[in-house]
């Protein structure tokens, strides 16, 4: 099993550009989420999904869109990148509530 | 809103010494509590979790944590530090059971091991 796979691992964007961070899991997990990690801030929840077709906002959703058309995939879209979105992004998945969350390796995004 | 506080952004110990990383949560209702470890350029890995079954929780790599309701604490310990323990450690809290949708993280503690 590959677990949680994120692509790309590194990305540099110019302000105003759009892009999609990809996240895929092969564990048939219902729950998936996106976190951003900033120095001295820990990880903060951006968006999450409790199943295909169901998404909701987390603590810091502004500037990000998500959709969940399949159980396996949960892409994160930046419509118009801003320098404040420079961060390391982690995707996580879990089978259900009360079950361990598995994390991807992260995507390091720099917006210049 | 649930929150978790980790005391000390950096902790330095000598190899072989006791490791103590502090975590306090803010709630009158005991939540689910977790410790995650992040090695350089890696994702997060679960060390251990508290789900009310036992107050002393044993995890991987020799780590353990004790839930103290009266102190609202969940400190992480290891009797003897190894060089390989150098990493970032995160305490996290959840009221939904800790699935991918509901974790609130502390700001992290960077553990430095001195030879």
pLDDT in tens, B14-27: 999 999 999 999 87
Mean pLDDT of B34-53: 89
* Cross-chain CB nearest to B99 (options A31, A35, A106): A31
Best of B100, B102, B103 to disrupt the A interface (most A CBs within 10 Å) is B100
Tell whether the model's pLDDT for residue A106 goes beyond 90. yes
A80's enclosing H/E stretch is: none
DSSP 8-state assignment for residue A73: B
Tell whether the model's pLDDT for residue A14 goes beyond 70. yes
Tell whether the model's pLDDT for residue B54 goes beyond 90. no
Tell whether the model's pLDDT for residue B70 goes beyond 80. yes
Tell whether the model's pLDDT for residue A11 goes beyond 80. yes
Q: What is the pLDDT of residue A74?
A: 98
Q: What is the pLDDT of residue A103?
A: 92
For all residues of chain B together, what is the average pLDDT? Answer: 89
Cβ A73 vs Cβ A49: under 8 Å: no
Max CA pair span of chain B:
41
* Cross-chain CB nearest to B103 (options A98, A101, A105): A101
Tell whether the model's pLDDT for residue B101 goes beyond 70. no
Instruction: Please report the sign of the dihedral spanned by the C-alpha atoms of residue B95, residue A34, residue A36, residue B9.
Output: positive
Question: Tokens 């603590």 correspond to what residue?
Answer: A59
- Taking CA atoms, what residue in B is nearest to A31? B100
Give the SS3 label for residue B69: helix
For β-strands B44-50 and B32-38, DSSP reports them as antiparallel
CB contacts, 8 Å: A106 with chain B? 41-43
């Amino acid at each position: 099993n590959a677990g949680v796979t994120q692509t790309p691992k590194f990305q540099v964007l110019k302000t105003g550009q759009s892009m999609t961070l990809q996240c895929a899991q092969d564990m048939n997990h219902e729950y998936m989420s996106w976190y951003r990690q900033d120095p001295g801030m820990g990880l903060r929840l951006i968006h999450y999904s409790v199943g295909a077709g169901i998404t909701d906002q987390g603590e810091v959703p502004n500037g990000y869109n998500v959709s969940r058309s399949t159980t396996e995939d949960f892409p994160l879209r930046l419509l118009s990148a801003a320098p404040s979105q420079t961060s390391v992004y982690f995707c996580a998945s879990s089978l259900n509530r009360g079950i361990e969350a598995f994390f991807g390796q992260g995507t390091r995004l720099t917006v210049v | 809103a649930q929150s978790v506080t980790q005391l000390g952004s950096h902790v330095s110990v000598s190899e072989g010494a006791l490791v103590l990383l502090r975590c306090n949560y803010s709630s009158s209702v005991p939540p689910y509590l977790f410790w995650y470890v992040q090695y350089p350029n890696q994702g997060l890995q679960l060390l251990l979790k508290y789900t009310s079954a036992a107050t002393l929780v044993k995890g991987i790599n020799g780590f353990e944590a004790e839930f103290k309701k009266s102190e609202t604490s969940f400190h992480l310990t290891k009797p003897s530090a190894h060089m390989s323990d150098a990493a970032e450690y995160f305490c996290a809290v959840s009221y939904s059971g800790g699935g991918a949708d509901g974790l609130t993280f502390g700001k992290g503690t960077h553990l430095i091991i001195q030879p």
